Amino acid sequence: EVQLVEAGGGLVQPGGSLRLSCAASGFTFSLYSMNWVRQAPGKGLEWISYIHTSGTTIYYADSVKGRFTISRDNAKNSLYLQMSSLRDDDTAVYYCAMYSGSLDFWGQGALVTVSS
Amino acid sequence: EIVLTQSPDFQSVTPKEKVTITCRASQNIGNNLHWYQQKPDQSPKLLIKFASQSFLGVPSRFSGSGSGTDFTLTINSLEVEDAATYYCHQSSGLPPTFGQGTKLEIK
């Protein structure tokens, strides 16, 4: 059974940093590209970042470019999102998702709240 | 950026009714269109990939069609458990984008 489990969410002040992780199991992690997608409270889905299997190809949404860094450790079956210079409008549930053209499986999400 | 526009935004439906949700893309995306279901306080789940391919374990009452710019998600014989928000998503262009969502309420 595919499982994706996010961790690392919490309350952070504007301008602060936070690192999310996503632990993968039930599939060969190194063979799949991965994405981060977020959802602000009561709002729709927003794609924010993509990383290819080897980590050599990476994309970001304009809204997070220069502030967020996606990475992965295939030996640990883990995906990461380093977030810095956080703003109020980064408050959202952050989902990791396995990609095969579509977003086939999603984690349960990690809530990040940016507030003073 | 490719814009996806869903209609309707909201629909109140009765069990066993047939429901149709449409998704229009601002440019040709071929068949690179996917549908997700999100129930309250849950993460999204893939229903249909590449416009018409049912994902594993998805009930047969869910089907998808379309290509190019116009796509449809159909739910035949709606069940109470289908109350959710449905999103379309395109993977044709960067950035990937989602429709605004269609909320289905069961009467």
Q: What is the mean pLDDT of each run of 10 residues along chain A (116 residues)?
A: 97 98 98 98 98 96 98 98 98 98 98 97
User: Per residue in B14-56, pLDDT tens?
Assistant: 999 999 999 999 999 999 999 999 999 999 999 999 999 999 9
pLDDT confidence tier of residue B106, bands split at 50, 70 and 90: very high
User: Per residue in B54-101, pLDDT tens?
Assistant: 999 999 999 999 999 999 999 999 999 999 999 999 999 999 999 999
Q: Are A70 and A80 in contact (CB under 8 A)?
A: yes
Q: Are B3 and B24 in contact (CB under 8 A)?
A: no
CB contact under 8 A, A47 and B101: no
Q: What is the DSSP string of B11-36?
A: EEE-TT--EEEEEEESS--TT-EEEE
Q: Which two tokens stand for residue B65?
A: 């069609």
**Number of Cβ pairs < 8 A linking chain A and chain B:** 51
Cα torsion for B1, B6, B9, B12, to the nearest 10°? -160
Q: Which two tokens stand for residue A29?
A: 């992690």
Distance CA A4, CA A81 (A): 14
pLDDT at A34: 98
Taking residue A50's Cβ as centre, other Cβ atoms within 10 Å add up to: 22
Residues of A in contact with B94 (CB under 8 A): 59
